[in-house]
Structure 1
Amino acid sequence: MTTSPQNPAPFLPGEHAELLHALAEQRALLLITTRDVTDAQAAERTTVSELTLGGIIKHLARGEQVWTQIMVKGDGELPEGMLDLEQYRMAEGETLAGLLEQYTAAAHRTEESVAALPDLGLNVPLPKTPWSPPETVHWSARRILLHLIRETAQHAGHADIIREALDGANTTAQR
């Protein structure tokens, strides 16, 4: 199945496909906010928040990478870069096109990994973070997917506000 954040996976029966389709729909809404945006616009702050369109795409790509790794490896280890605050910023020399390629690759890896899971009820230990409780916490693959859907939807809303502040465009006007 060849998909991208811009081209959601076709609907197939089953919980795996339904959750992946919901995630793909949120990705597609998010990416409307990047249409016809220059690299300079993608790096521009338009609100009091530090968030930018490029930073959101970079963060969500990294988020899918680390959460997919947590789900697939199931070893409770902290994925490299998970806590790196630079994932929220478009760095000097980065392009929106490059960040979108990373996001597409991360989305494809997530879809492949989820499709390969025999059961979304599979529980995996979460990595220890500075805010973790002392005991090991486990999440199911299902809950990880729901987390990715929520995170993508939340940041799609942020991106819509940023884009509207940039040039008046928004997801409602661009569908």
Structure 2
Amino acid sequence: MTTAQAMLLLPIGQFCGVSGPPDDPATRYPIRVADRMIDVDAGLFTVWAQAHGVPAEETWTSAELTALLTDGLLARVEPDDAIGFAHRHRLEPLVMGLGADGDRFVLGLPGTPLVSVSGPMFAVWAAAPAEPDLWSVCLRLAAETSAEPATLLPGLLDGLRPLLTAGAAYLDRVSR
């Protein structure tokens, strides 16, 4: 994590639609994590959704963060457990590669580009479906580049946010 090895807070899971009108307090927001569905209310869903990007201000409470962390819908990535996080999580791409634009690679749907990423992050995105977890992605890319896997991991983790914000991929917990 290049930003002085700072802690990261990352959303986990894939949103699976909404079960009712947004203004109805009984409406639930199902999020799939590995092989289970977790239903959350509008308040927790909003915090989970905000965790995909960089909100202008923190609008969540400590109780909401704790609930999402406890349910496995958020992951706190501490610098000293980055490799452990990478063993426990995988990246699931949701869109297609649309080609290169200079030294960047565009991801999205035909006619709808969503995000452009660096060459190394495109390699992560492309390798992720074939590997069981993020650490295995690092091992694969290290073998291709003669780099040490642990030196690739901070860049991988720092590069996740644009993919998550754009909805180009989601993080999931490894089922073992």
- Give TM-score, length-normalised by structure 1: 0.31
Q: Which has the higher helix share?
A: 1
Quick check: which one's strand share is greater?
2
Flag the structure with more relative contact order, 1 or 2, with Cα contacts below 8 A and sequence separation at least 6: 1
The TM-score, its normalising length taken from structure 2, stands at 0.31
